[in-house]
Structure 1
Amino acid sequence: MSSPWIEGLRSVALFVPDLAKAEAFYTETWHLEVAHRGDGVLYLRGTGTDEYLLALHAGGEVPQVRQVTLRARSREALDEVAARVQAAGGRLLAAPHQLDKDPAGGVGLKFQDPHGRTIQVVHGDVRRAATAPVQDRPIRLTHVVLNSHAVDETQHFLQQALGFRLADRTGIMAFMNCDRDHHTIAIGIADNDALNHIAFLMPDVDSVMRGGGRMKDAGHPIQWGPGRHGPGNNLFNYFMDPFGVVIEYTADVEQIDEGYEAHGPEYWKWPPGRVDQWGISAPPGPELKQAQRCVFFAP
């Protein structure tokens, strides 16, 4: 256990331009399942214990991030986070309160970090009974990557406010750990604060690869992959959804404990021509790189 207060990543909420189109894509092609429907909002679940992974809200002409939701280890942890967020320079938007309008329920708080990213932390939300993983269907979210124009400041905030620790640092990213997954939030070194991508955990390598074929058949080619990352050791295939949100199928995420040794950029340098452990895939193309710079948090 790294963070004494944060257990992991629960869900991501997005504003999307076309809710019906989003539902068709995320259920028929991405293989999530409708969990709940509301007025102008759709909640989608995987096969794991989380009540939902994605909340899709009807929005404007471009996609935006409404919030990223983390799960707290205890009700007391929410009060600790509320105090630490403000001490670390964040802005508390909502103190701990009952989430009566959220279909997963529980108690939650909401804050903005110093660069305007909205994060919710919940405890006591509905959990589903554990079942065996289902081939070709996402289980849960494993991480979200957020760009930052001030990576050191963002890293410091996550450490001070949420108790994360640095798992690894490469030339392009800082990987932040809170529990067993190697990273739950990663910070992309950039000149903006956009969403870089959302990663969905698949049951195995075959599910990651068949997912690539399924997406290709549906007109959504693999934008980067297949490959195996260095930090996290996870398999990957990257795609873009119909609105330009970058999403990843991943598996085999490295599980770490307090004895894990963090490494820096010199350790994670690849030989010339390689961008991952396997060296099969070409580097990310300009279309993907641009998409990773275009989806911002809603004001």
Structure 2
Amino acid sequence: MTQRLVSHLRYAALAMPNFDEELEFFTQHWGLTETHRDGDTAYLAAEGSPEPYIVRLRRDDKRIDLVSFGTKDREDLLKLADKLRAEDVQFVHEPRELTQPGGGFGFRVFDGDGRVLEFSTEVTLRESRKIREREPIPVKLSHTVFNSANLNESAQWYVDHLDFTISDSLVLPDGSELMHFLRCNSTHHSIAIAKGPHHSLHHMSFEMRGIEEWMRGAGKILRAGTRMIWGPGRHNAGDNTFAYFLSPAKNTIEYTTELQILDEDTWHPSRLDISQLSTQDQWGTASEMSELIARESFNDIDKGLFVAPPV
């Protein structure tokens, strides 16, 4: 089994001009809890996760501020920093004490496309709770997906520098790659990278307690007047359920559950033909994937590439 220095996904941080509208949606409808506010920056936790927060929202031009990952301890974090430095990865800042809610010790770098990645350890965790049966709120942040104009190069950066592993890939009938699912632990994917016209956020996904809670959550969001752009269904890659919506900032966000846990010693990645309907949706309940549906998640060009966020 691969011994990785990155242990898990922590949170995703986004900026958008309609901060108040986005914050209201995530707290009043999506099911996250605001735990800290610093002016025009809000920190949102999931009741089922011990992470201090799983989403950070900030008022600014629309962009991905950063995606944060954890390491097991300070020793692994410093080893990772040494590795990335030796590989000429560009640092935003060197390892230091962090001042954000939950504190910790960490550093930030730019990935190959210019997105900011944070790695941290010794974070003060919050008191989480078990999500109740039929409670339609997220347990945790499941995964984040990026659009990239350089799909294979973007994915290879995570393989080469962070020791992520490609779990499965989606391909077109001619064999050309459309999406790579990458893992940093036994969960099928913590990130994925999709082929797009530009670099941007494809979607953020939130894990629900189970099928019942996932369906009730999707119904709750529909009743709030938010449009479902694809779903409900069940993917082949990852074997997880999906229901995709557009937030007020026009970011695609997903409720999911039952994302596959792999036996890494025996798992072999598959190349799944997207033209096969069972690849798109095992159940056959979602609309067939089309160019129109795919376009919904192309999103706006990320304005934050190779620009460090102010917080």
> How many angstroms does 1:268 deviate by?
4.7
The alignment status of 1:33 with 2:38, answered yes or no, reads no
Distance across 1 between alignment mates of 2:256 and 2:2: 22
Distance across 1 between alignment mates of 2:276 and 2:167: 22
Q: Pick from 182, 185, 194: which aligns with 1:179?
A: 185
Query: Contact 1:212/1:221 (CA < 8 Å) preserved in 2?
Result: no
Match for residue 10 of structure 2?
10
Amino acid at match of 2:32: L
Q: Pick from 248, 258, 281: which aligns with 2:254?
A: 248
> How many angstroms does 1:288 deviate by?
5.6
Spell out the pairing of 1:83-94 with structure 2 (5 A cutoff): 83-94=82-93
> How many angstroms does 1:70 deviate by?
0.7
> How many angstroms does 1:261 deviate by?
2.2
Spell out the pairing of 1:260-279 with structure 2 (5 A cutoff): 260-265=266-271, 267-268=272-273, 271=276, 275-279=280-284
Query: Contact 2:109/2:118 (CA < 8 Å) preserved in 1?
Result: yes
> How many angstroms does 1:215 deviate by?
1.3
Amino acid at match of 1:91: Q
Percentage of pairs with the same residue = 28
Query: Contact 1:233/1:254 (CA < 8 Å) preserved in 2?
Result: yes
Change (3 A) 1:120 1:209: same
> How many angstroms does 1:114 deviate by?
2.1
Distance across 2 between alignment mates of 1:182 and 1:272: 21
Q: Pick from 174, 193, 198: which aligns with 1:192?
A: 198
The alignment status of 1:57 with 2:58, answered yes or no, reads yes
Match for residue 21 of structure 2?
21
Query: Contact 2:273/2:279 (CA < 8 Å) preserved in 1?
Result: no
Change (3 A) 1:150 1:85: farther
> What secondary structure sits across from 2:101 in the alignment?
coil
RMSD: 2.0
Query: Contact 2:19/2:58 (CA < 8 Å) preserved in 1?
Result: yes
For structure 1, which runs of at least 5 residues remain unmatched after alignment?
Answer: none
CA deviation map 1:11-58 (0-9, x unaligned)? 011112122212211111101111111122110000111110111111
Distance across 2 between alignment mates of 1:274 and 1:219: 29
Amino acid at match of 2:58: H
> What secondary structure sits across from 1:84 in the alignment?
helix
Mean CA deviation greater in 118-127 or 185-194? 185-194
> What secondary structure sits across from 2:156 in the alignment?
helix
Amino acid at match of 1:72: T
Amino acid at match of 1:79: L
> What secondary structure sits across from 1:278 in the alignment?
coil
> What secondary structure sits across from 2:228 in the alignment?
coil
> How many angstroms does 1:160 deviate by?
2.1
> What secondary structure sits across from 1:109 in the alignment?
strand
CA deviation map 1:54-97 (0-9, x unaligned)? 1111113xx21111111112212222222333444531111110
Spell out the pairing of 1:75-154 with structure 2 (5 A cutoff): 75-100=74-99, 102-134=100-132, 135-154=135-154
> What secondary structure sits across from 1:170 in the alignment?
strand
Match for residue 175 of structure 2?
none
> How many angstroms does 1:132 deviate by?
1.2
> What secondary structure sits across from 2:155 in the alignment?
helix
Amino acid at match of 2:54: L
Distance across 1 between alignment mates of 2:231 and 2:297: 16
Distance across 2 between alignment mates of 1:161 and 1:121: 13
The alignment status of 1:66 with 2:72, answered yes or no, reads no
The alignment status of 1:208 with 2:205, answered yes or no, reads no
Match for residue 280 of structure 1?
285
> What secondary structure sits across from 1:35 in the alignment?
strand
Distance across 1 between alignment mates of 2:46 and 2:66: 19
In the comparison of the two structures, how many residue pairs are matched? Answer: 295
> How many angstroms does 1:207 deviate by?
1.7
> How many angstroms does 1:247 deviate by?
0.4
> How many angstroms does 1:227 deviate by?
0.6
> How many angstroms does 1:148 deviate by?
1.8
Provide TM-score, normalisation by structure 2. 0.88
